[in-house]
Amino acid sequence: PYYQEKLYKEPRPLVIQALGFFKDSLHGKNALDLGAGVGNDTAYLLRQGWNVWTNDAEEEAIALIKSRNDI
């Protein structure tokens, strides 16, 4: 139930704020999302054109990330 409640929520405000520092970057945009949970931050980063490597210790979380229809 915990993961289902979190799925498809907005990314953390800090992630949105941090992207502002990289807006004019000339280099590839790569991110590592450790402890990604259901992948809300990962999905947001991908939609913004970032390459994201995602990891979580919970198999259920990884399965939910793989099943998302927005990434």
**Interatomic CA distance for residues 21 and 38, integer angstroms:** 25
- Supply the pLDDT for residue 33: 97
Token couple for 46: 């991908």
Tokens read off for 36: 């990604």
What pLDDT shows up at residue 26?
67
pLDDT of residue 23: 76
Residues 7-54: pLDDT tens digits? 999 999 999 999 988 877 767 789 999 999 999 999 999 999 999 999
pLDDT at 55 over 90: yes
Copy the structure tokens of residue 23: 């807006």
Per the DSSP assignment, residues forming a β-bridge with 54 are 33
Note the pTM of the prediction, 2 decimals. 0.89
